[in-house]
A = this chain, B = another copy of it.
Amino acid sequence: MEYQQRYRAYQEAIENYLHGLFTQDTPYGKLYESMRYSILAGGKRIRPVLTLEFARLGGLDWHLALPYACALELVHNYSLIHDDLPCMDDDDLRRGKPTNHKVFGETLAVLAGDALQPEAFRLIAQAPGLSAQSRIDAVEVLAKACGADGMVGGQVLDTVYGARDEASLTELNRLKTGAMIAAAAELGCVAAGMSAEQRSQAVEFAQQLGLAFQIRDDMLDVMGDEQVFGKPIGSDREEGKITYVDVRGLDGCAREVEACTARAKAALEQWEDHAFLWELADRLVGRNQ
């Protein structure tokens, strides 16, 4: 199957699954509305796509991995809602639409984020057709990735401490964005019951991909076209945040992106059928949005 055809099949399944969530009639309907506003706002769905593709590579009917994949997406979206709050990055726009608290108010935005987390773990716990061992492993992978020593730790480094040099910038990105991308790949492996060795290769691929993605993001922040990129160019710089461009320069960044992508691809050696993930990596590097 062609890359784009497969990506669309994954995306469609993910959108359908997410559309089916939080649709019941309840006395607290505004909570559901606020949660759905964010999780159905689109986006590339890279994380859940990674989960589904690794599940497929492991020989599983990838539809069975949808609960794991969409759990990641719930957690990712809770983090975006809370990141945008006035006491955090204080953003009014996200993907060109008003942020959650701008539409629903701060109280509901905090609570929608709070509710998305346990709902993610519920999806995993109730995933049909996967063993109890797989599901509890998946809970552990997700909990570590989004917990104090994962995404939230990274967010604290970003908002409270701030990166001062390349080492702390790398640590910040490894936790804030890298941990969830690595978890995406690992959850696909867990769904398919892959070996520990295969899981660690999948994680290596995802970590290199995440790093390439982040460096490329920093480059686009300087070079990119505002309309294409979808957020104000130079916004990171204006906030006084240190970026990879500051520490490596644009040329150095371009070389590092190539190196990360090569390492990511190399980690996929054991899977003959790696064409989709190779192309995904190439497209992320070449992206202008």
Contacts and interface: CB of A to CB of B under 8 A. Distances in A.
A195 interface: no
A113 B114 CA distance: 9
A224 B118 CA distance: 36
Interface in A95-130: 105-108, 110-111, 113-115, 117-119, 121-122, 124-126
Max chain B Cβ within 10 angstroms of own Cβ: one of A28, A35, A140: A28
B28 A153 contact: yes
Given A26-B149, A27-B161, A125-B136, 9 more contacts: A22-B148, A27-B168, A31-B153, A110-B110, A115-B153, A118-B146, A121-B121, A122-B147, A135-B136
7 nearest A-B pairs in the assembled complex, by CB-CB distance: A87-B106, A122-B143, A125-B140, A118-B147, A115-B152, A115-B148, A132-B132
- Interface size range of chain A in the complex: 35 or more
A32 B148 contact: yes
B110 A125 contact: no
28 contacts: A22-B148, A26-B153, A27-B161, A28-B148, A28-B153, A28-B156, A28-B157, A30-B156, A31-B152, A32-B148, A78-B114, A82-B110, A87-B110, A88-B107, A113-B114, A115-B148, A115-B152, A115-B153, A117-B117, A118-B152, A119-B143, A119-B148, A121-B142, A121-B143, A122-B139, A122-B140, A125-B139, A125-B140
Interface of A: 22, 26-28, 30-32, 35, 78-79, 82, 85, 87-88, 105-108, 110-111, 113-115, 117-119, 121-122, 124-126, 131-133, 135-137, 139-140, 142-144, 146-150, 152-157, 159-161, 168, 171
Main SS at interface, chain A: helix
A185 B139 CA distance: 22
